[in-house]
């Protein structure tokens, strides 16, 4: 009986840890947007954003709108349509 109680407590703690540790990543990447730090930027061509431990490159088009001055090291939010950037907002 005591072993089942300890097992149940450990299971609850494990689930809580996964929820707390995963929350920042889940908040940073959505179906149509990404928030992270710029690790590479080539105006009019591509932007690479780091979210957590992962980096991903996105295509910038002539239609991409930019709010603020984009630079490596700045925090940005990208609005996406597949892998193309629709809008870049610098925080």
Residues 6+ apart with CB under 8 A from 56: 34, 48, 49
pTM above 0.95, yes or no: no
Q: Report the CATH number at residue 17.
A: 2.40.50.320
Question: Given this model, what pLDDT does residue 67 score?
Answer: 96
Cβ atoms within 10 Å, residue 24: 10
pLDDT, tens digit (0-9, with 9 covering 90-100), for 15-55: 655 555 554 444 355 567 899 999 999 999 999 999 989 99
Query: What's the number of domains the chain is made of?
Result: 1
CB 1 within 8 A of CB 39: no
pLDDT for 10 beyond 70: no
CA dist 80 and 82 (Å) reads 6
Percent of residues, the chain, with pLDDT higher than 90: 58
Domain limits for position 9? 2-90
């Amino acid at each position: 009986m005591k072993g089942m109680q300890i097992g149940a407590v450990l299971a609850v703690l494990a689930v809580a840890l996964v929820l707390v540790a995963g929350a920042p990543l889940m908040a940073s990447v959505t179906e149509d947007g990404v928030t992270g730090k710029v690790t590479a930027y080539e105006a009019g061509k591509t932007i690479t954003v780091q979210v957590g431990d992962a980096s991903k490159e996105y295509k910038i088009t002539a239609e991409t709108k930019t709010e603020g001055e984009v630079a490596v090291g700045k925090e940005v939010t990208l609005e996406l349509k597949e892998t193309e950037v629709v809008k870049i907002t610098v925080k």
